[in-house]
Amino acid sequence: MKKIRRIALFILISSIILTPVQSMAFTIPNEIKQKADELQLDAEAAILINADTGDILYEKNINQKEYPASITKLMTMLLAFENCDMDETITFSKEAVFSIEPGSSHIGIDQGEEITVDQAMYAIMLQSANEVSNGVAEHIDGSLEAFAQHMTQRAKELGALNTNFVNANGLHDENHYTTAYDMALIARELLKYPHFKDVLSCTYYEIPPTNIQSETRYLHGQTQLIKEPSAFYYEYCEGGKTGFTDQAGNTLVAYAKKDGTEIISVVLKSTGYGEYTDTIKLFDYGFENFKTQNLCTQGSLCQNTTAIEEGLFKDETFNVTGNYASDVTVTLPLNCSLSDIETNVDLPENIPVPLSKGDVIGSVSFALNGEEIGKTDIVSADDVGENAAAAMATAQTKKPIDIKLIAAALICLVVVLIILRFALVKLRYEHNRKKRRQRLKYYRDTNFKNLELSSKNRKYR
């Protein structure tokens, strides 16, 4: 069942919030710049970036508008990952199947045929299937035109401001263009989806029989950088997407990773096999001159410091544990060591409490050769001083003691006690008096009876 989820703005905001604090300003040393100038690339435009930090390691006409050809499909795949579940079913329309140019890349999908989004991802990456790209477009936005607008808008949200897409597959159109820098941004965004790496590195895939096709489709990857028998095989390459039209020439976006450093290359308008030789030059240059270094990790301990409660509890101190608020990952020259990094922790001498977990209490910055390369906040790891604060709040709400009022209350209490004393004495007197009367009455009555009895006894003698 087709699901249309237009949540581009939400994704943009989420990506901004969730992206760790990265390098501030990366400056390539002059000796490395000289090596970059010696690369002599065939492509008219090219870029190499650090996939983790986004730092530009090499650039050649990176903002020059070029035709992308089939590397356009990386944007199509990005929108599929953002808007679809991989097990959703795509049903292909007549327009999706038959609107592509005769002789262009396809896998023979027929009108009304059904495959999953996941199968479509492999068909796009391995065989650059144009009709499959169209099917994904209609599945997400209902029409090819609406999807093209979606592509362009999403690209601008990523910062790709010099890009305009008019189709989902990259077939030539004068108004369909991008830049090396913009494509690097799109390629980097795809790394947020782990399954993309599975598709990227695949060289062979099978689509089983469908509701229309009775035979299995066998898909073979086109990127020579990850095929071991190829003359352009590159050991550390994770995969890539190629493109070609007469107007665009050869284009290629590729990923490589070595010793924890991941880089992305983009080459546009290359000739012959220049897209491969250029990419290999860029990869070698990147790994021979740069490395990725994590300087601090979100949630890890930064420093213990002392907080002092001001006011009523001014003499009471609290131990505060500070944690790094986010990761700081930077690009460094390969020969740079951690001892070359200057760490500057900025914390106040006394931190007022109470603190809630996550409250910002300071910051830490990192510098190389006097230039700041990374920065993040330091936050409280725990709640601190809440009981003291509550006691202070209670104390502050109490009114000053009134001595006169207390004295008056004591006098009243004494008077009441005296009155009660007299009342108790009177009650005891009345009680004793009553008992005496009762005893006297009893004594008299008893004596009178005895006298009568004695008189009678005397009469009958």
Let me know whether 265 and 327 are in one domain: no
Q: Is residue 402 part of a domain?
A: no
Residue 166 has pLDDT above 80, yes or no: yes
Let me know whether 274 and 301 are in one domain: no
Let me know whether 190 and 329 are in one domain: no
Q: Single out the residue in 397, 420, 450 at which a domain terminates.
A: 397
Instruction: Answer whether 74's CB lies under 8 Å from 241's CB.
Output: yes
Query: Tokens 């795949």 label which residue?
Result: 77
Let me know whether 169 and 219 are in one domain: yes
Let me know whether 263 and 324 are in one domain: no
Task: Give the per-residue pLDDT at 397.
Answer: 53
Q: Is residue 410 part of a domain?
A: no
Residue 351 has pLDDT above 60, yes or no: yes
Rounded-to-integer distance, Cα 71 and Cα 46, Å: 14
Residue 438 has pLDDT above 90, yes or no: no
* Close Cβ partners of 111 (under 8 Å, ≥ 6 residues apart): 92, 93, 94, 97, 98
Q: Single out the residue in 233, 262, 293 at which a domain terminates.
A: 293
Task: Give the per-residue pLDDT at 17.
Answer: 33
Let me know whether 288 and 302 are in one domain: no
State whether residue 337 is helix, strand or coil: coil
Instruction: Give me the CATH number covering residue 84.
Output: 3.40.710.10
Nearest to 362 by CA among 373, 352, 348: 348
Across the chain, mean pLDDT equals 86
Q: Is residue 314 part of a domain?
A: yes
Q: Is residue 392 part of a domain?
A: yes
**CA dihedral of residues 54, 59, 61, 66 (deg, nearest 10):** -50
Task: Give the per-residue pLDDT at 322.
Answer: 86
Query: Tokens 């990869």 label which residue?
Result: 283
Mean pLDDT of 330-353: 88
Structure tokens at 165: 């897409």
Let me know whether 230 and 347 are in one domain: no
Let me know whether 126 and 274 are in one domain: yes
Q: Is residue 434 part of a domain?
A: no
**Domain extent at residue 393:** 297-397
Q: Please indicate whether residue 251 or residue 358 has the higher confidence score (pLDDT).
A: 251
Instruction: Answer whether 255's CB lies under 8 Å from 263's CB.
Output: yes
Task: Give the per-residue pLDDT at 181.
Answer: 98
Question: Can you state the angle between helices 8-18 and 144-157, rounded to 10 degrees?
Answer: 20
* pLDDT per position as a tens digit, 359-414: 998 899 999 988 899 999 999 888 887 654 454 455 445 555 667 778 778 888 88
Mean pLDDT of 114-134: 98
Percent of the chain at pLDDT > 90 equals 65
Instruction: Answer whether 151's CB lies under 8 Å from 165's CB.
Output: yes
Instruction: Give me the CATH number covering residue 377.
Output: 2.60.410.10
Query: Tokens 């090396």 label which residue?
Result: 180
Pairing of β 317-324 and β 328-333 = unpaired
Q: Which residues pair with 45 in a beta bridge?
A: 268
Mean pLDDT of 108-134: 98
Residue 461: pLDDT band by 50, 70, 90 thresholds?
A: very low
Percent of the chain at pLDDT > 70 equals 84
Q: How far is CA 114 from its chain centroid?
A: 35
Task: Give the per-residue pLDDT at 401.
Answer: 60
Rounded-to-integer distance, Cα 243 and Cα 169, Å: 10
Structure tokens at 351: 């931190």
Let me know whether 45 and 115 are in one domain: yes
Q: Is residue 412 part of a domain?
A: no
Q: What angle do CA 454, 457, 458 make, to 5 degrees?
A: 90
Let me know whether 252 and 377 are in one domain: no
Q: Please indicate whether residue 388 or residue 81 has the higher confidence score (pLDDT).
A: 81
Residue 310: pLDDT band by 50, 70, 90 thresholds?
A: low
Residue 460 has pLDDT above 60, yes or no: no
Considering just the CA atoms, what is the radius of gyration of the chain in Å? 43
Instruction: Answer whether 381's CB lies under 8 Å from 322's CB.
Output: yes
Q: In total, how many domains does the chain have? A: 2
Let me know whether 198 and 76 are in one domain: yes
Let me know whether 125 and 230 are in one domain: yes
Task: Give the per-residue pLDDT at 174.
Answer: 97
Residue 150 has pLDDT above 90, yes or no: yes
Q: Is residue 289 part of a domain?
A: yes
Q: Is residue 193 part of a domain?
A: yes
Residues, the chain? 461
Task: Give the per-residue pLDDT at 353.
Answer: 79
Amino acid at 441: K
Rounded-to-integer distance, Cα 96 and Cα 138, Å: 8
Q: Which residues pair with 89 in a beta bridge?
A: 116
Nearest to 362 by CA among 316, 309, 325: 325
Q: Single out the residue in 267, 293, 319 at which a domain terminates.
A: 293
Task: Give the per-residue pLDDT at 404.
Answer: 74
* Residue 318: Cβ within 10 Å count: 18
**Strand ranges across the sheet with 301-308:** 301-308, 317-324, 371-380, 360-368, 341-346
Query: Mean pLDDT lowest for which of 92-96, 143-147, 309-313, 373-377?
Result: 309-313
Rounded-to-integer distance, Cα 125 and Cα 117, Å: 12
Q: Please indicate whether residue 20 or residue 251 has the higher confidence score (pLDDT).
A: 251
Rounded-to-integer distance, Cα 367 and Cα 341, Å: 6
Query: Tokens 């690369």 label which residue?
Result: 39
* pLDDT per position as a tens digit, 204-261: 999 999 999 999 999 999 999 999 999 999 999 999 999 999 999 999 999 999 999 9
Task: Give the per-residue pLDDT at 285.
Answer: 98
